[in-house]
Copies of this chain bind each other. A is one copy, B any other.
Amino acid sequence: MKAIVTLFERILQRVNINLRELGFDATPYIHIIPIGQMIKFYGFYGITPHHPLNFKFKNSNLAGSYFLGRCQVNNAILYKSDIRGDELKKRGDIFQYNDYKIPVVDNEEIQVEDSLLIKTLVHNFSHDPESLERFFIKDTISMNHSNIHGSPCEGCFIGAFATADLTTMHDCVIGNFAYIQAEEISHLNIPHGTIWVRNPGKFNFYYQHPQEKLNEYVYFSAGSPPQGKLIDFVADRKEAFQRVFDVVNIEQLIPVPSSASLDRYSVTRGQTTIGENVLVAQRAYLQNASLGKGVNVQENCFVINSNLEGNDVAAHGAKIIEADLGSMVFVGFNSFLRGRPDNRLTIGENCIVMPHTIIDVNGAVNIPPDYLVWGLIQSEEDLETHSISIEEFTKVETRLAMGNMFFEGNGAAFIEAFQDRIRHILKANGAFFNGAEKKGHAQKNQYISFNTIQPYPEGNKKGIFPTIVIKP
- A residues adjacent to B (C-beta < 8 A): 42, 47-49, 53, 245-249, 447-461, 466-472
Of chain B, the residue at the smallest CB distance from A57 is: B470
Q: How far is the CA of A472 from the CA of B469 in the complex (A)?
A: 11
- Tell whether, in the assembled complex, residue A458 and residue B48 are in contact, meaning their CB atoms are under 8 Å apart: yes
Known: A466-B470, A470-B468, A471-B466. A454 touches B246 (CB 8 A): no
* Sample of 14 more A-B contacts, CB < 8 Å, known A449-B457, A469-B471: A42-B451, A47-B455, A47-B457, A49-B458, A246-B247, A247-B248, A248-B452, A451-B452, A452-B452, A466-B471, A467-B471, A467-B472, A468-B468, A469-B470
Judge whether A460 and B247 touch: CB under 8 Å. Answer: no
Contact A454 B451 (CB under 8 A): yes
A450 and B454 in contact, given A466-B47, A467-B471 (Cβ under 8 angstroms): yes
Chain B's closest residue to A444 (CB) is: B458
Which of A246, A448, A450, A454 has the most C-beta atoms of chain B within 10 angstroms of its own C-beta? A454
Copies of the protein in its oligomer? 2
Asked if A53 and B466 sit within 8 Å, CB to CB, the answer is yes
Asked if A47 contacts B246 (CB within 8 A), the reply is no
The residue of chain B having its C-beta at the shortest distance from the C-beta of A50 within the complex is B459
Given the interface contacts A246-B247, A468-B470, does A447 sit within 8 Å of B452 by beta carbon? no
Are A456 and B248 in contact (CB-based, < 8 A)? Answer: no
Are B248 and A42 in contact (CB-based, < 8 A)?
A: yes
* Bound Cα distance from A457 to B456, whole angstroms: 28
* Closest CB in chain B relative to A6 CB, distance in Å: 16
Contact of A447 among B457, B460, B467 (CB under 8 A): B457
Supposing A448-B457, A454-B451, A457-B447 touch, asked if A467 and B466 sit within 8 A by C-beta, the answer is: no
Give the secondary structure class of A's interface: loop
Q: What CA separation (Å) do A382 and B249 show in the bound complex?
A: 49
CA distance A204 to B460 in the complex (A): 49
Residues of B close to A449: CB separation below 8 A: 454-457
Given contacts A42-B248, A246-B249, whether A47 and B456 have CB atoms under 8 Å apart is yes
Contacts of A450 in B (CB 8 A): 452, 454
Residues of chain B lying within 8 A (CB to CB) of residue A42: 248, 451
Chain B residues, CB < 8 A from A247: 246-248
Chain B residues contacting A461 (CB-CB under 8 Å) are: 49, 472
Which of A447, A458, A471 has the most CB atoms of chain B within a 10 A radius of its CB? A458
The smallest C-beta distance from A80 to any residue of chain B, in angstroms, reads 15
- Distance in angstroms from A70 CB to nearest chain B CB is 12
CA distance A178 to B341 in the complex (A): 72
What CA separation (Å) do A450 and B457 show in the bound complex? Answer: 10
A249 to B40, CA, bound (A): 11
State how many angstroms separate the Cβ of A136 from the closest Cβ of chain B: 23
**Could you show 9 A-B contacts with beta carbons less than 8 Å apart?**
A42-B451, A48-B457, A49-B460, A448-B457, A450-B454, A451-B451, A451-B454, A452-B452, A467-B471
A458 to B447, CA, bound (A): 7
Q: What B residues does A49 contact at CB under 8 A? A: 456-461
Contact in complex: B467, A467 (CB < 8 Å): no
CB distance from A2 to the nearest CB of B (A): 12
Chain B residues, CB < 8 A from A469:
467-471
Which residues of B sit under 8 angstroms from A245, Cβ to Cβ? 248
In the complex, the answer to whether B453 meets A451 with C-beta atoms within 8 Å is yes
A41 vs chain B, min Cβ distance (A): 10
Bound together, the chains give a CA A53 to CA B48 distance in angstroms of: 26
**A246 CB contact (under 8 Å) in B248, B466, B467, B468:** B248
Cross-interface CB contact of A48 among B456, B460, B467, cutoff 8 Å: B456
Residues of B within 8 A of A248 (CB): 42, 245-248, 452
Residues of B within 8 A of A468 (CB): 468-470
